[in-house]
Structure 1
Amino acid sequence: MEALRLEWCGDEAKLWTSGAMARQGLVTTVSSPAGTAAVVGWVGSVQDRLAGTRALLDAFDRPGAEPPLPAGDFAAVLVYRDRVLLMRDAQARIPLFFRESGGRVSTVSTSTRGLGRAAELERRYFCRYLTGNMAQPHTRLTPFAGVYRVLGGEVVELSVTGRLRGRRSGDPAAPPDVLRPGEAGQDLRRALEQAVARRLGRTTACHVSGGTDSTSVALLAARLLAEGDASDADLILLAGRFDGGELAGERPYLQEAVDAVRRLAPAARPMIVEADDVADFDDFEHHAGDSDEPHAHAFRAPFWSRLHAVAAELGCDILLTGCGADPVVDSNPLHLHRLARSGRLRELTRQARAYAATSERGIREVVGTHVVRPALPLAAERFARLVHRGTVLGGLGNFTRPPWLRPGFARAHGYRAASIAESRFAFGRRPEQSLYDAANYLAAPDPLSWRYAQRNGFFLSHPFLDPEVIATMRCLPAEATMRADRSKAVLREAMADLLPRRISGRTAKIPFNDLYVRGLRAHADELVDLCRSARHPLTAEMFDIDTLCRAVREAQWGMGDSYAWDRVNASLALVVWLERLGDGRSAETGAAVPVTACS
């Protein structure tokens, strides 16, 4: 989807934005004597997007200025008299790409398809994509040769004629001082309240599932609206309800969450969407094939798109989720790796034993997962593959080459280098800190919301992934968060006065495995047929189709685990995406916006 486009006609820059998205408030454009800024999304706060865009334009007005990037979910193009700046916030929910050749940028767009050519595919990208579900958003490569991504938190500077001058990472939010354990809940509450307040719109929807995370966000939104001037604000509680299967067990918690929110904000409107007839992989060709890039989580799109369509009908201008809480505010078991590095083996044994007891796992599994695997991720996965010989999915982790990816293709296009880069991003030299860096991409892969934003009229936003919330949690000492007897202890402490006791005391939620199993039972034959009938030449060049089809069957039979299933899902999405690549669909951008800095 193309929300904005910047092109150079000779030495003159011309900027277009989507007229429909501008009318919806999803694109904001302001001009001053210094230049023009076009922002997709919001800066500062959702309710005052115009002021946020002006502030962004003013902040970068002075040449050489490198102010920290403000809070928000945005991609922006700033055109000044002497330079052009491209930037995205650190959460990187909204994409931005540019076509470059010989050090000169010719076009900038929010759509990689709008810049790419189907005949010029970048094979290194597909190796990176296939290493795991975090690979896409934090690599500069795109599916198309010569088209590159502006990374999250990055500022790209161009000359007024499009010459590439440099790229730098925007300064992250300044972390607070190291916090004392007794203050942890108060500081998280303060940071989370501010993150929710920035995201409140005139009609705000909140995902509510009955879990601690989504309920916390909805309760804070309700309280903020109740305490402020809420005469012109509306709150929608959006949930999917299942009457059968394992997920029916979530109904009492869902009702408890809705009741708690409505006690704070009686005018909040619960919208409960019946979802028993939804299964993963429904209409998979549409959801996987029409996305701007291959979308590894396209199999889950039927459920979310049904909920989001309801929010769109109600005129919501933003939808808040509890996404990101698990890696950000839960106890960080990778802290065990720090104990091993510092030689504190007795303390490591004590905490690993306690963590194993509460997570119902063996101590060997805990140490293997949180100490050995982060230290030697590729070696650990190769060993697992050797132990589980005889099946396609057995022992298949995040980084090792899936058996259906042809060895020749992997060697020729850098799969090993991609897997090393991905493992370093996921774990890094200090895995307990890398967890926070990777959480943004692990917890909230939502290209689906971007793809449907113009149709729905809103973006998704994730308060738990707000830079201030992450900075607060990073500064907490391990003893404040690593409480083996209680998950998300700091969050429960922070929300003690609002969370219903039944939800606050939950130790586990029912996963969405039912939807996945039901979807594979219903669509496995169809997915196998899609693979066998694929005609794009790159599909046969990359994949051993027989092995991929066998992997689909093993997943249908319940073999493998979530890591292995993610690899299958990503590969299936890529097969369908390549088949639909030749359609050439791209969204119209609408009327031209004058760029006063270059006129």
Structure 2
Amino acid sequence: MEAVRLGWAGGAPELRVAKDMAGRGLVTTVSSGAGTATVVGWVGSFRDRVAGAHRLLDAFARPGTVPRPPSGDYAAVLAYRDRILLMRDESARIPLFYRESDGRVTAVSTSARRLGDGAELERRYFCRYLTGNMAQQHTELTPFTGVHRILGGEVVELSRTGRLSGRVPPRVPAVREPSPPASGGRLPGAAAKDLRRALEDAVARRLGTMTACHVSGGTDSTSVALLAARVLAAEGGGPGDLVLLSGCFGGGELAGERPYLDEAVEEIRRHAPAARPVIVDAGDVADFDDFRHHAGSSDEPHAHAFRAPFWSRLHAAAAELGCDTLLTGCGADPVVDANPFHLHRLARTGRLRQLSRQAHAWAQGSERGVREIVQAYVMRPALPLAAERIGMLARRGSVLGGLGVFGRPPWLRSGFARAHGYRAAGVAETRFVFGRAPEQSLYDAANYLAAPDPLSWHRARQDGYFLSHPFLDREVIALMRHLPAEATFCPGRPKAVLREAMADLLPARIHDRAVKIPFNELYARGLRAHGDELVDLCRSARHPLVEEMFDVETLCRAVREARLGMGDAYSWDRVNSSLALVMWLEGLVSAGS
């Protein structure tokens, strides 16, 4: 989707903005004596988009200084008298790309597909994409040769004629040893207060004129909606300011979520009586419904396109009501839960007694063995590719047996993988996911994995809003990065610090629940309904890269195994992303025919 496009005519820059998106507040343009700023999304506060755009323009107006990009969900083009700056916020929710040749940028757009029209496909990108379902969003590579991604938190400087002057990379957060527990054991309580304050601020920054909150009955989404209700109530919000958006299932396992959902809505309305519950019937939705459309028309391959039917139905309901922002609880699981990779920190710093004691506590709290805990959070981050290779050797006999996150899936042709750097891509991806300090890299990876944003971006023009995720707010993540394990870990009680932070608001039934029903039923139903269709789509794929890249029959066998319930979440993710890539390539063929 192209919200903004920058080009050059006669050596002078020309900026075009999608008028319908500007009219709905999705794009904001401001000018001053220093220059002009065009912002897709919002800077600082959603409600104060014009002021935020002015602050961004002023912050970067002085040549030679590049401050840290402010918080928000945005991509921006700043045109000054002597230079042009391209940037995105650190969370990287809104895409931005540029096409470059011989050191000169010829076009800038929020759509890689528009910039890459007619360009050769970049095969290295597909190897990187296939190493994991977050891989394409945090690397410069795009599917098109010569088209580059601006990374989250990065600032790219151009001359007025488009000459590439420099790139200021994203700032790496300082990693420091967590503080020891405060005397008297008061640190966990202090951490809960800090988290509550950070979440309240994150929610307040994202509230719009009419805000929808996705409410599932879980701790995370209910917390966000409760905080939104309290902020709006304190402001004297009127009817229609808050919509409580939920998907409801009349049968199957997911029907068991309805009592929690009803209790969450009741408690939220106690704080904001004017809040409007909107319960969307999703009983007939299955994963992979209309998969060709959802996966084939996106700007880039979208690994989570299989889940698009459910989210699309909820998005459409919010759009019909005129909501201008939708808040979710996405990101809470990796961000505010206890960080298990602190065990890796204990191992590499030689604190083996503490490692043994805490590994036993983790095992007891999660009903797993100590060996399994150590293997997952100490050994695997140290040798991820070797661990996956051993797992595949130990569980031979099926396509999905032992297939993890980074190893080459059997249906990816070995010749293609060797020729286009799959192993190097796998190594780079493991370094991103685990890094030198896995307990810190966890938060960077969570930012790209937790939120289903490609669908939100793809639908933004028709819906009139973007999704936003308070748990992935920069300040929330910064707080959680520096909390010691003692402040967040309570055996058998996931997200203990969040539960304590919200103890006065969450209903007891939701506050105390430790397990939420997953969406596995939706996935199984989708494969039962569409498995044969997916196999046929793979076999009939017309794009030549599909045959060059994949052993199609092996991929089809993997689909059939997943349909039978074989494999696990890791291997299913590999199947889903590969299917999405096949459909995306077919979308290129259809668009060109």
Once residues 67 and 577 of structure 2 are traced to their aligned partners in structure 1, the CA distance between those partners, rounded to angstroms, is: 38
Correspondence list, 1:221-260, <5 A: 221-231=228-238, 234-260=241-267
Of 400, 409, 421, the match for 1:414? 421
Per the alignment, residue 534 of structure 1 pairs with 541
1:481 aligns with 2:488: yes
Per the alignment, residue 60 of structure 1 pairs with 60
> 1:342 Cα deviation (Å)?
1.6
Between 1:231-240 and 1:114-123, the stretch displaced more is 231-240
The code of the aligned residue for 2:101 comes to S
Of 296, 307, 310, the match for 2:303? 296
Once residues 109 and 224 of structure 1 are traced to their aligned partners in structure 2, the CA distance between those partners, rounded to angstroms, is: 36
The code of the aligned residue for 1:39 comes to V
> 1:196 Cα deviation (Å)?
0.3
Once residues 174 and 81 of structure 2 are traced to their aligned partners in structure 1, the CA distance between those partners, rounded to angstroms, is: 30
Between 1:82-91 and 1:342-351, the stretch displaced more is 342-351
> 1:365 Cα deviation (Å)?
1.3
Query: Contact conserved, 1:225 with 1:233, CA < 8 A, in 2?
Result: no
Once residues 175 and 575 of structure 2 are traced to their aligned partners in structure 1, the CA distance between those partners, rounded to angstroms, is: 39
Per the alignment, residue 518 of structure 1 pairs with 525
Once residues 520 and 232 of structure 1 are traced to their aligned partners in structure 2, the CA distance between those partners, rounded to angstroms, is: 42
The code of the aligned residue for 1:95 comes to P
**CA offset digits 1:161-203 (Å, max 9, x no partner):** 1111111135478999968433101100110000000000010
1:571 aligns with 2:554: no
Once residues 145 and 174 of structure 2 are traced to their aligned partners in structure 1, the CA distance between those partners, rounded to angstroms, is: 36
Per the alignment, residue 44 of structure 2 pairs with 44
SS of 1:14's partner is strand
1:544 aligns with 2:544: no
Query: Contact conserved, 1:174 with 1:471, CA < 8 A, in 2?
Result: no
The code of the aligned residue for 1:215 comes to T
Once residues 449 and 586 of structure 2 are traced to their aligned partners in structure 1, the CA distance between those partners, rounded to angstroms, is: 27
Query: Contact conserved, 1:118 with 1:581, CA < 8 A, in 2?
Result: no
Per the alignment, residue 338 of structure 2 pairs with 331
SS of 1:48's partner is helix
> 1:233 Cα deviation (Å)?
6.3
Query: Contact conserved, 2:244 with 2:278, CA < 8 A, in 1?
Result: yes
Per the alignment, residue 90 of structure 1 pairs with 90
Query: Contact conserved, 2:240 with 2:274, CA < 8 A, in 1?
Result: no
Once residues 172 and 38 of structure 2 are traced to their aligned partners in structure 1, the CA distance between those partners, rounded to angstroms, is: 22
Query: Contact conserved, 1:324 with 1:440, CA < 8 A, in 2?
Result: yes
Between 1:210-219 and 1:485-494, the stretch displaced more is 485-494
Query: Contact conserved, 1:351 with 1:484, CA < 8 A, in 2?
Result: no
Once residues 277 and 233 of structure 1 are traced to their aligned partners in structure 2, the CA distance between those partners, rounded to angstroms, is: 28
Per the alignment, residue 151 of structure 2 pairs with 151
Once residues 538 and 240 of structure 2 are traced to their aligned partners in structure 1, the CA distance between those partners, rounded to angstroms, is: 48
Per the alignment, residue 24 of structure 2 pairs with 24
Q: Tell me how many residue pairs correspond in the alignment.
A: 585
Once residues 550 and 174 of structure 1 are traced to their aligned partners in structure 2, the CA distance between those partners, rounded to angstroms, is: 46
Between 1:334-343 and 1:317-326, the stretch displaced more is 334-343
1:346 aligns with 2:344: no
1:363 aligns with 2:363: no
Once residues 428 and 170 of structure 2 are traced to their aligned partners in structure 1, the CA distance between those partners, rounded to angstroms, is: 21
Query: Contact conserved, 2:542 with 2:589, CA < 8 A, in 1?
Result: no
Once residues 511 and 485 of structure 1 are traced to their aligned partners in structure 2, the CA distance between those partners, rounded to angstroms, is: 18
1:281 aligns with 2:288: yes
The code of the aligned residue for 1:48 comes to D
Per the alignment, residue 430 of structure 1 pairs with 437
> 1:35 Cα deviation (Å)?
1.0
Per the alignment, residue 400 of structure 2 pairs with 393
Cα 1:102–1:184 change in 2 (3 A) is: same
Query: Contact conserved, 2:432 with 2:445, CA < 8 A, in 1?
Result: yes
**CA offset digits 1:302-325 (Å, max 9, x no partner):** 000000000000000000000000
Q: Which ranges in structure 1 are unaligned for 5 or more consecutive residues?
A: 586-599
Once residues 457 and 519 of structure 2 are traced to their aligned partners in structure 1, the CA distance between those partners, rounded to angstroms, is: 22
The code of the aligned residue for 2:73 comes to D
Query: Contact conserved, 2:432 with 2:441, CA < 8 A, in 1?
Result: yes
Per the alignment, residue 597 of structure 1 pairs with none
Once residues 102 and 538 of structure 1 are traced to their aligned partners in structure 2, the CA distance between those partners, rounded to angstroms, is: 27
TM-score normalised according to structure 2 size: 0.97
**CA offset digits 1:116-174 (Å, max 9, x no partner):** 03451000000000000110110100000000000011111111111111111354789
> 1:252 Cα deviation (Å)?
0.7
TM-score normalised according to structure 1 size: 0.96
Once residues 57 and 233 of structure 1 are traced to their aligned partners in structure 2, the CA distance between those partners, rounded to angstroms, is: 33
Once residues 131 and 172 of structure 2 are traced to their aligned partners in structure 1, the CA distance between those partners, rounded to angstroms, is: 27
Per the alignment, residue 568 of structure 2 pairs with 561
SS of 1:8's partner is strand
The code of the aligned residue for 1:236 comes to V
Cα 1:265–1:447 change in 2 (3 A) is: same
> 1:229 Cα deviation (Å)?
3.5
Per the alignment, residue 104 of structure 2 pairs with 104
SS of 1:517's partner is helix
| Alignment RMSD (CA, Å) | 1.5
> 1:232 Cα deviation (Å)?
7.6
The code of the aligned residue for 1:128 comes to R
Of 457, 460, 463, the match for 1:453? 460
Question: In percent, how many aligned pairs have the same letter?
Answer: 73
Once residues 287 and 160 of structure 2 are traced to their aligned partners in structure 1, the CA distance between those partners, rounded to angstroms, is: 47
Per the alignment, residue 196 of structure 1 pairs with 203
SS of 1:258's partner is helix
Once residues 89 and 522 of structure 1 are traced to their aligned partners in structure 2, the CA distance between those partners, rounded to angstroms, is: 40
Query: Contact conserved, 2:119 with 2:145, CA < 8 A, in 1?
Result: no
The code of the aligned residue for 2:348 comes to R
Per the alignment, residue 474 of structure 2 pairs with 467
Of 491, 494, 501, the match for 1:494? 501
Cα 1:172–1:419 change in 2 (3 A) is: closer
Between 1:460-469 and 1:344-353, the stretch displaced more is 344-353
Once residues 50 and 406 of structure 2 are traced to their aligned partners in structure 1, the CA distance between those partners, rounded to angstroms, is: 43
The code of the aligned residue for 2:16 comes to W
SS of 2:300's partner is coil
**CA offset digits 1:430-468 (Å, max 9, x no partner):** 101110111101111420000000100000000000000
1:12 aligns with 2:19: no
Cα 1:174–1:313 change in 2 (3 A) is: farther
Once residues 285 and 127 of structure 1 are traced to their aligned partners in structure 2, the CA distance between those partners, rounded to angstroms, is: 22
Query: Contact conserved, 1:5 with 1:17, CA < 8 A, in 2?
Result: yes
Once residues 392 and 175 of structure 1 are traced to their aligned partners in structure 2, the CA distance between those partners, rounded to angstroms, is: 40
Per the alignment, residue 223 of structure 2 pairs with 216
Higher relative contact order (CA 8 A, sep 6+): 1
The code of the aligned residue for 2:584 comes to W
Query: Contact conserved, 2:240 with 2:276, CA < 8 A, in 1?
Result: no
1:374 aligns with 2:381: yes
> 1:582 Cα deviation (Å)?
3.2
Query: Contact conserved, 2:175 with 2:440, CA < 8 A, in 1?
Result: no
SS of 2:47's partner is coil
Once residues 559 and 84 of structure 1 are traced to their aligned partners in structure 2, the CA distance between those partners, rounded to angstroms, is: 52
Per the alignment, residue 511 of structure 2 pairs with 504
The code of the aligned residue for 2:19 comes to G
Query: Contact conserved, 1:241 with 1:276, CA < 8 A, in 2?
Result: yes
> 1:359 Cα deviation (Å)?
1.4
The code of the aligned residue for 2:105 comes to V
Once residues 170 and 431 of structure 1 are traced to their aligned partners in structure 2, the CA distance between those partners, rounded to angstroms, is: 19
Once residues 69 and 175 of structure 2 are traced to their aligned partners in structure 1, the CA distance between those partners, rounded to angstroms, is: 14
Per the alignment, residue 161 of structure 2 pairs with 161
The code of the aligned residue for 1:478 comes to A
> 1:48 Cα deviation (Å)?
1.1
